[in-house]
Amino acid sequence: MIQIRGLSKEFLGRDGEGTGVLAIDSLNFEVRDNEFLTIIGPSGCGKTTLLRIIAGLIPFDDGEVRIDDKPVTGPGSDRAVVFQNFALMPWANVLTNIAFGLEIRGTPKAEYEDTARRLVRLVGLEGFERRLPKELSGGMQQRVGLARALAVNPRILLMDEPFGALDEQTRRLLQEQLLRIWEKERKTVIFITHSMEEAVFLGDRVMLMTPRPGRVKEIIDVPLKRPRGQETEKSTTFTEIKEYLWENLRSMQVLDQREA
């Protein structure tokens, strides 16, 4: 279980002085084991900052982050991050990119190559093992990024708008593929998105954040049966939750404009 208690983070000015920017303030929530939690909120509300703190990539100012009651003090093998910008090594082929994390940990070559080939099959990239990133579409590159994260067998998968730069058709296909992989692997997933449809379609729960400084406004249960597919978005429950999110997001942004 991931526990966030009283979490706050302020970014200082370029000179380290002056008025800073309070990105998140007094965040409190928990993520259950094997849960798929999606996070949505207005632009600039601290979603990515929160994810990077949980990943151990940046420090925080107040509060605590605990995994299985152990404090997070830096990156760990129990967590892996999938970014929006793919972050692949341009000179390395698909297999090498996927196996990179295992290779630098000293995993025997035969083992990390077998793992990479298994994950190539899992994400549907058979036949592209020797291709370079520049020879792949955006969707295929993101599949490589997902496979690379899965290769180190993390308990927790942290995903920062991984499909945000993709076209709508590719995005929908990868959403369904991600859910199939999650059903099989059963990782704990925290998934940041700007899309209300994506938040509802993927999540067991949706965490709605306020404008900066980001706080938890509400956590909404998504009582849609799994596995999910095309029919899910046609359900009344899906539509009601999506519209509820939009009403909240719209009201927060209108209020923010009035206060500006």
Residue 86: predicted pLDDT: 75
Structure tokens that stand for 164 in this block: 């945000």
Q: Does the pLDDT value for residue 255 go beyond 90?
A: no
CB 44 within 8 A of CB 211: yes
Q: Rounded to the nearest 10 degrees, what angle do helices 138-151 and 94-104 cross at? A: 20
CB count in 10 Å sphere of residue 159: 25
- Note the pLDDT of residue 17: 61
Position 48 pLDDT exceeds 60: yes
Q: What is the pLDDT of residue 20?
A: 80
- What average pLDDT does this structure show over 247-251? 92
SS3 category, 232: helix
Q: How many CB atoms lie within 10 A of CB 242?
A: 19
Q: Which CATH class is domain 2-78+154-259?
A: alpha beta
Rg of the chain's alpha carbons, rounded to an integer? Answer: 19
What is the share, in percent, of the chain residues with pLDDT greater than 70? Answer: 95
Quote the pLDDT of residue 234: 92
Parse the chain into domains and list their residue ranges: 2-78+154-259
Q: What mean pLDDT is predicted for residues 232-241? A: 95
What does the pLDDT look like over 92-145, one tens digit per residue?
Answer: 999 999 999 999 888 999 999 999 999 999 999 999 999 999 999 999 999 999
Instruction: Say whether pLDDT at 90 is over 60.
Output: yes
Sign of the four-CA dihedral 156, 113, 97, 136: negative
| Cβ–Cβ < 8 Å for 38, 209 | no
230 — pLDDT class (breaks 50, 70, 90)? confident
pLDDT at 149: 93
Closest CA to 49 of 179, 242, 199, 212: 212
Q: Share the mean pLDDT of the chain.
A: 92
In this prediction, residue 83 has a pLDDT band, given cuts at 50, 70 and 90, of: confident
Which pTM does this prediction carry? 0.92
